[in-house]
Structure 1
Amino acid sequence: VKDERIPLSYGQLGQETNGAGGMFKAFRTIPVILDIVEDMKELCPDAWLINFTNPSGMVTEAVVRYGHWDKVVGLCNVPVKSLFDEPPLVGLDQQDCLFKFGGLNHFHFHRVYNKHTGKEITQDIIEAMTNPGVHIGPANVFNVPFYREQLQSMGMIPCSYHRYYFREQEMMNHLIEEYQTIGTRAEQVKEIEEKLFELYKDPHLDHKPEELAKRGGAHYSDAACETIVSIYANKNTTIVLSTKNNGALPDLPNDCVVEVSAIVGSSGPQTLTFGPMPMANKGWLQAMKAMELCVCEAAVTGDYGLALEAFTLNPQTTSGADCKEIMDELFIAHEKYLPQFKDAIEKIKASGVTIKDDKARALTEAGL
């Protein structure tokens, strides 16, 4: 809630894996995951870490780069949802289509082919998905349609989270409206989960509650279970996951973590070549990966200046005074979860920075 409300109080995006909120989720989460990795080295050195803790791509990057643990994959439900949702738009089933994914977690693109004819059907899906009233994204992403001409030009299908970049103004307006009325997404989810837990108390519940569809996160079980089975049974299944690049995306270094299609067997994922990105998307991708690497290093080292570099790089945080104030407020809001930034937080507090959003300040004062 604080990750979302504090940036929105300045009119900037606060979202669980995008923008200021996503970066602070990484600052809090990465050290915890790295502690788990240290336990794994001692207790189960042959095990694989299957992660879908968000921000999944940055967490996986940190595990590889700073945990020195290659037996890790990051998972996300967004690619899986594309596999289910897009083929019916052009009259096909999932098994009729071949998908190739390339990019970063919550910032990937994909192309689609008809398995029977070998014909690429990406443009057919783009035309269908940009028709009025079509929504094929997850429940937690507001349905602002992409511009058809932009997608046709790039020749790839962006993931749902690209709305935060390609339709930033409209997404921002929607989030601010919710912030001022019914509450942010996190606040809405808390209400949904309270209802769900009440429903689950009933031992006679024999159907999927309607509220669950509003929660977001559909198909996580599909992604996780299929990955585990593919590694354990050496199935060599093609799965979309975050792993070392190893040449799949030539526009990024081989040792960085990317989200791509890979053949997964007992030796782990073998990435499939996606190829170079079109010019504009190459620029986006390299800037986003630079931001992610700054976030990961800052999370490990507690370097305030590097955190500010990440905020300056991130497209969802407008650089300048407001950006720095948002970051400083978030440091105060999450102080007890950020021991690596202790010295920086003491300086921020001494400078007189206070949390301006009433609800976020109240939660902080309550120790939440």
Structure 2
Amino acid sequence: MASRTTHPVLDTRSLNRATLARQLLLSRAEMSARAAIEHLLGLQAQNVKPPYFQLYARLAGFRPAELAALMESRQTVRMVTMRSTIHTHTAQDALTLRPLVQSARDREVNYFRKGLVGVDLDRLDTSARAFVEAEPRTMGEIREELLKQWPDADPQSLSVAARCRLPLVQVTPRGVWGRSGQVRLTTVEKWLGPGTDPREGGGHRPPAVDEVVLRYLGAFGPASVKDMQTWAGLTRLREAFERLRPGLAVFQDENGVELFDLPDALRPDADVPAPPRFLPEFDNLLLSHADRTRVLAPELKGRTWRGSQAYCTLLLDGFLAGLWKLEGATLTVELFGTASKARRGEIIAEGESLLAAMTGEGADGSGSGPGSGSGSVRFGPIHG
């Protein structure tokens, strides 16, 4: 929505540097993994490894064992939240952000209503909850259980209804670095234990949307109303922004779109250096704004995907500049354009650091850290 009022203009580079600073990508933060996950409002996690690589790109001294321990101790969980995708959240955010997006999940169920004719959704909730709380189940097992009660229903529609209407978490060992496991599900309340079920007066309630707006701006701002709606997969958030307007800083981009921000948030100079960063597939930096030109040049739109496959991405000078792929201890980098010898040296140094921390002796936290592993960084195509 174009602004009718003239506000200070933030150009693309200024937006880029501000967003990188909030995303902990201008310099690695001296912050715990748990604190970072909370600050970022979760990590996109369709696959198991990306959250680990997201934290490595953002935190000083991060090793996979730190997040693995949070998963195993149930301080963090994997579940469907924003945009109907799997995210890794702190336990507290899992209990509060999931209800915030329930209206969008209800709309998703409604899309499958033709396959749910004759299905009592309240009864489905009760049956599915009892089934997964007895012990964690696969989605196939949940579907088969529900088909016993509604044999004429569409199996996929039953799966969608259970997935969307219940706050299901993926139980460990799924999501634990170095381990594997089939996706098994139970409710977030069952997984986190007594006192977390709001039906029993546990005290956990969805936060006011205003609070989430402020947190979003802290992690992704400056941003428009439409940007946050894209991140959350929700609509009708303008009311919340208008309530908060008196306490917010207001800018506009070069197209006149109104941008909101926290008054005291970091907005570094546009010329602040941005080091190379290797981001995994589905990093929220590339998915959480309606207008992604702050990190993605228009001519590169579509370069991070092929069919249903998403590629890992390389940031250079703060902007998308290439793709990368890790096979064993070899990191292959495909640049979209040219890079100077000095810039290639920076890419190699960052890549070697990643290899040492994520594939070498230091990956489990027991080795000596960067430099202790072995591997190589090469430039070339990552796909045919």
Where on the TM-score scale, by shorter chain, does this alignment land: which range? under 0.3
TM-score, reference length from structure 2: 0.25
- When you count helix as a share of all residues, which structure comes out higher? 1
TM-score, reference length from structure 1: 0.25
**Larger of the two Rg values belongs to structure:** 2
